[in-house]
Amino acid sequence: RDSQQAETERLSRWKKWRRTSSKSLKKAVSEVKGWSSYLVLWQRDIHSIEGKFGTGIQSYFSFLRFLVLLNFIIFTFMFSFVTLPIIISKNGMFNSTIAYISPKNIEDNCTIYEPTGNKGLVYFYTYLKDLFSGTGFLEVTSLFYGYYTVDAVWISVMRYNLPLAYLLATFAYLALSFLWIVKRSVEGFMQNLVHDADPFQSYCNKVFAGWDFCITDPNAARLKHRSLQYELQTDLQEEKLKQKIAERTMKEKLRIYSLRIFINIIVLAILSGCFYSIYRVTVFSQENSNVSIRNDTRTDSANLLVQYLPSMVITLANFIGPQIFSFLIRFEDYTPAFEIKLTLMRCVFIRLANIGVLMFSLWSQISDCGADKCKPCGYNYKLYPCWESDVGQEMYKLMIFDFIVILAVPLFLDFPKKLLVTHCSCKLIQLFGQQEFRISDNVLEIIYGQTICWIGTFFSPLLPVIATIKYFIIFYVKKIILIHTCKPATRPIRASGSNFFFLVVLLIGLLLAFIPLGVSIAHIPSSKACGPFRNFNTSWEVIPDTILEFPTVVQQILFSMASEAFAVPFFMIICIVMFYFIALARAHKRVVEQLREQLV
């Protein structure tokens, strides 16, 4: 320090000022970063959960926070580029006008669409029914696709192409979701690689480099103590299980493998039963609800029950399936981290395939062209005059019913169970004990809801704001359940592997959402009675139609980029780049192994 001060005295005033200002700026940036950490959503809550229940459960709440932010950004996209221009033009702001779509070369039968909006004196019960089913007054609002029957919005002299904006906003939110999930997955994968390193090295890192010396608050220190304790406990638990697996005799191995085969047969039977039940119920609901609409033979309550039947059966399968899988996994003798992964994969088949079965059933009804039902319009226009709004209503009902179940389970199951275990000394009740927070079930709940949101946003542009509010409330509901009804896990779970796997399952949900959206945009004819694409055969046709308005040179460039002559060389270049990075990764891996040997 003395030598530095002596050097400083010899510096010019300009250099002294630059050095002082640089130090001051670094200090100010550091303080701003410290204060900005308080602005991060639920930062203190998540740190508290990490200290009390470990990093495994903390990873679930961090994942929930990520979905809240993702849905809010998706909502911002759709609202800014689709809903807001219509609101501005309808109110005449910024000297704007609106141009509604007039049918071109379309038969009159295809353009008949009469939404069941409430007219005259309406009972309060009818409003509640509409709120839960997405029909009535909600059907004619900006929540659903049918509201956006607009060709263009004129703001002063600028023409805003709404059909193109609608389709590009859909592609934008899907691309954003994909890139953000991949980015977070890569971060989790790198952490996973570090934790999969030599256990001795991992243990040394925790003991010698695990403490945060910036901690000055006693409460924060206690939380850090607990966090390190859970990490070490997880390491020891996994080492103990590995040792136990290594010491198994041939007889024990045969017994365990036979038991696992038998349990997997039971799992396959449960999955098959769920899929078949959902398919039959969905077909029954579609046929009977359509009959009741035509003939008006049922009461409102019966119609609502028939409409909600697929949602009820899907939610029931989603609730019972994971409970059975969580019970069966205990007998298969896996590590805690692998238990979560296997249970998640089994539950994924139930939850995500359920949505696929529902979409397949809806498509079969929409494209049901027996007896020339689809001849004028290309789809079953008599039952589905605006089929996109009908699909949006199904997604809306699934999301609302899923939210109701998530709120009802703690109220009617978790809290009564906690009271019985605490205040009743009956051996049968005490046998169940205080429940643990099952990460796999809770993660699948929110991934299932997010997949519904991704699929439904094209048909219901404001669905992401409902998902944002839903996840925001779920965070506090799950936090209350965790603190007041759950105990810390007897078998701790590491966060790094869990975080990576949660994102992989979320990515599977996103890729599944691409399939129904791709079919709906590029294959099924768009409704001729509503929506921004009524004058196009499919929603995708707005892209080539817009390109034809460009100058000839730009058209040639874009069409050549879409040709095979461009695609084949581009694919070959991508393959060469990929092989280069694979070779580079292998070289880095060898260097890392040499460095580890030197460290030992």
Find out whether 459 and 465 touch, Cβ atoms under 8 Å.
Answer: no
Tallying the residues shown for the chain, one arrives at 600
Distance separating alpha carbons of residues 557 and 518, to the nearest angstrom = 25
Domain ranges in the chain? Answer: 1-39, 47-196+248-546
Q: Which of 142-146, 372-376, 513-517 has the lowest mean pLDDT?
A: 372-376
Neighbours of 555 (CB within 10 A): 14
* Calpha distance 395→415 (Å, rounded): 30
Give the pLDDT confidence score for residue 306 in this predicted structure.
75
Residues 75-112 pLDDT 10s: 998 999 988 888 887 777 766 666 666 666 667 777 77
434-448 pLDDT tens trace: 677 777 778 888 888
- Do residues 347 and 500 lie in contact, with contact meaning Cβ atoms separated by under 8 Å? no
List CB contacts of 494: < 8 A, sequence separation 6 or more: 55, 56, 195, 231, 234, 337
Q: What is the pLDDT of residue 22?
A: 85
| Residue 381 reports pLDDT greater than 80 | no
In this structure, is the dihedral angle defined by the CA atoms of residues 551, 552, 555 and 557, taken in order, positive or negative? negative
pTM exceeds 0.85:
no
C-alpha–C-alpha distance, residues 419 and 591, integer Å = 57
- Directed axis angle between helix 124-133 and helix 387-409, to 10°? 100
pLDDT at residue 297, rounded to an integer: 47
Q: Which amino acid, 494?
A: R
- Structure letter (DSSP) for residue 374: T
Maximum separation of any 2 CA atoms in the chain, in Å: 97
Tell how many helices (H) and how many strands (E) occur in the chain.
21, 3
Using an 8 Å Cβ cutoff, are 439 and 340 in contact?
Answer: yes
Least confident of 63-67, 125-129, 263-267: 125-129
Of the pLDDT bands very low, low, confident and very high (cuts 50, 70, 90), residue 74 is: very high
Least reliable range by pLDDT among 121-135, 349-363, 546-560, 582-596: 121-135
Task: Select, from the ranges 71-80, 184-193, 233-242, 332-341, the one with the highest average predicted confidence (pLDDT).
Answer: 71-80
pLDDT tens-digit series, residues 466-496 = 999 999 999 999 988 888 887 655 555 555 5
**Contact (CB, 8 A) for 215 and 43:** no
Percent of the chain, pLDDT > 70? Answer: 84
For residue 117, what are its two tokens? 């909006």
Alpha-carbon distance of 384 to 372, in angstroms, equals: 15
The secondary structure of residue 83, as a DSSP letter, is I
How confident is the prediction for the chain on average, in pLDDT?
Answer: 79
Q: How far apart are CA 526 and CA 534, in angstroms?
A: 6
* CA distances (Å), origin 39, targets 71, 223, 430, 561: 19, 20, 43, 45
Tell me how crowded residue 57 is: count the other CB atoms within 10 A of its CB: 27
Q: What is the mean pLDDT of residues 144-168?
A: 82
Spatial neighbors of 51 by CB under 8 A, at least 6 apart, are 222, 223, 224, 225, 226, 227
| Structure tokens given for 592 | 């890392």
pLDDT exceeds cutoff 60 at 298: no
pLDDT of residue 294: 46
Rounded Cα distance between 470 and 487, Å, is 25
Distance of CA 420 to the CA centre of its chain: 35
Strands in 96-100's sheet, in edge-to-edge order, are: 96-100, 150-155, 158-161
Q: Identify the helix (H) or strand (E) that includes residue 154.
A: strand 150-155
What is the spatial distance between Cα 80 and Cα 462, in angstroms, rounded to a whole number?
11
Both tokens of 157, joined, read: 């002299």
